[in-house]
Amino acid sequence: EYLVNDLLTLSAIESKGETLQLEKIPLTSVINPVLHLFKDRLENKHVRLNLNIPEGLPDISLDRIKMEQVILNLLDNAIKFTPSGGNISVQASLEHDFLRIDVKDTGIGIEPKHLPHLFERFYRVDKGRSRELGGTGLGLSIVKHILQMHDGRVAVESDVGQGSIFSLFIPIT
């Protein structure tokens, strides 16, 4: 079911038939509903989540539903790949003409050879493990495409055994 939904989402985005329903909103109105969805999963896995969204960030023009999906995909991965007792943080800052959102975890990390391919459709770092954890291999591809629709971009840094940081850059218009 997830695979079909992810394929339909990606197909719609890539076909350029998908349009953005832009509204100027505070970032917290996108992040808070998604965090709420993961509350039980975080507690059950004993993973701590730190949210750092400074006061005074400008409202940003974006498609709420699509951006919620971006945050959902990144948090889902962070929780999947962070062992019990680990930490995840979501923080936002202004960087030049962009709103930067970092989703950082203390998870298993990703080997450097995989980083250039992470945002390709169906790419999985650990095929057996991601299938076992319910991944479709499309989440990060969807993240990349939604950010491109917003004239933004996504970047990743990772150290094996230390964790990963996924950074979103959304233009402030």
**Amino acid identity, position 125:** V
Q: Hey, CA dihedral for 112, 114, 120, 121, is it positive or negative?
A: negative
Report which DSSP code applies to 83.
Answer: -
Of 93, 87, 59, which is closest to residue 75 (Cα–Cα)?
87
Query: How far apart are the C-alpha atoms of 50 and 89, rounded to whole Å?
Result: 5
pLDDT digits (tens, 9 = 90+) for 85-109: 999 999 999 999 999 999 999 999 9
* pTM flag (> 0.85): yes
Supply the pLDDT for residue 20: 87
pLDDT digits (tens, 9 = 90+) for 144-170: 999 999 999 999 999 999 999 999 999
Sheet with 163-171, side-by-side order of all strands: 48-52, 87-95, 98-105, 163-171, 153-159
Supply the pLDDT for residue 12: 66
- Name the helix (H) or strand (E) containing 171: strand 163-171
Question: Which residues make beta-bridge pairs with 167?
Answer: 102, 155
